[in-house]
Amino acid sequence: MALEEYPPPHHVLSDLGIEVDAPDGSVTVARLPVTPHLYGGHGGVRLGVLATLVDVVGGAIGVEVLAPDWMATSDLAIHGLRPATGAVVEARGTVVRRGRTTLVVETTVSDGTDAPGPVAWATMTFAVLPASAAAGPRPRRTDRRALRGAGFDRPVSEAVGITTGEGVAPGHGGAVASLSVDDYVRNSFGAVQGGVVALLGETAAMRSLYLAGVSPELAPVDLQVTYVATARAGPVLATPRWSEVGARGSSTVVELADAGAGGRLTSVVSLRAERW
């Protein structure tokens, strides 16, 4: 899919209705209209959705800053600071460091309510892919963009193809969530979009903690995704590999593997859950 055509109208980023702008050249802003289908069970927009918004901001910055080179997301860490309850959430991203091989971006997310402080803060690292080693030089995209899709008629995790419970990958014992892969969730490289990976990781991690007996009152507050390889074929299976249940919060780590690519490890996601 050519960059100029990405994302197509029928795509998760289009259905999220994200608007991206770079008002003064030093900051990139993305706004997300909040609908009930973006909420989790803890009184605010899901952390995985905020991670998707952060990923879009980071990608927009990378496209602008790194042209004509390309980039791949290495990792994303987001810290929820309070529930996001406003009608619109806004992510503002800036460059921390542009090196020869990496780009580091930090993003602050606010929700426009009277509550003090941001709702989340995030950092992410991109690996720079030289144009000669990738798919040739890539043009800059400096235009303001408003993505308009049909929206969601069901919870966002269902809409992107995430399954939990009995429907998860029969024959793949241990997986607690899975993602079907099609063009609706692929990025311009043909791999699963980074924010969707975060959403799958969040879903799987919370499912894992639920199965471990953790109180459902615990909300995901920190999410960290390390991208090891691209997920292209699917289904992507999420399997817990580590967890700790504590009195004041619980943590878990899940691995995501591409079952359609021989079970190749694609990402490692760690999550911290606490009471708000």
Footprint on residues 85-114 left by another protein (CB under 8 A)? 96-97, 99-102, 104, 106, 108
Give the end-to-end CA distance of the chain in Å, rounded to a whole number: 41
Non-local (6+) Cβ contacts of 199 within 8 A are 46, 48, 49, 51, 52, 156, 157, 160, 162
> CA torsion sign, 188 to 191 to 192 to 195?
negative
**In angstroms, what is the minimal distance from the CB of 176 to another protein?**
17
Footprint on residues 243-272 left by another protein (CB under 8 A)? 244, 246, 248-249, 251, 253, 265, 268, 270, 272
Selected from 125, 157, 193, 230, the binder of another protein by CB under 8 A is 125
Strand partners, 223: 78, 271
**Which residue, among 41, 39, 17, has the nearest Cα to 30 in the 3D structure?**
17
Q: Is 158 in the site for another protein (CB under 8 A)?
A: no
- Segment near another protein (CB under 8 A); pick from 3-11, 69-77, 156-164, 194-202: 69-77
- Half-sphere exposure at residue 207, Cβ-oriented, CA atoms within 13 angstroms: 23
Q: How far is Cα 17 from Cα 14, in angstroms, rounded to an integer?
A: 5
Q: Is 213 in the site for another protein (CB under 8 A)?
A: no
**Which residue, among 207, 212, 209, 204, has the nearest Cα to 268 in the 3D structure?**
204
If the CB atoms of residues 160 and 238 are measured against another protein, the closer one turns out to be 238
Q: Is 275 in the site for another protein (CB under 8 A)?
A: yes
**In angstroms, what is the minimal distance from the CB of 21 to another protein?**
23
**In angstroms, what is the minimal distance from the CB of 118 to another protein?**
7
**Which residue, among 83, 86, 60, has the nearest Cα to 73 in the 3D structure?**
60
Can you give the binding site for another protein, defined by CB under 8 A? 74-75, 77, 79, 81-82, 96-97, 99-102, 104, 106, 108, 117-118, 121, 123, 125, 127, 221-222, 224, 226, 228-229, 242, 244, 246, 248-249, 251, 253, 265, 268, 270, 272, 274-276
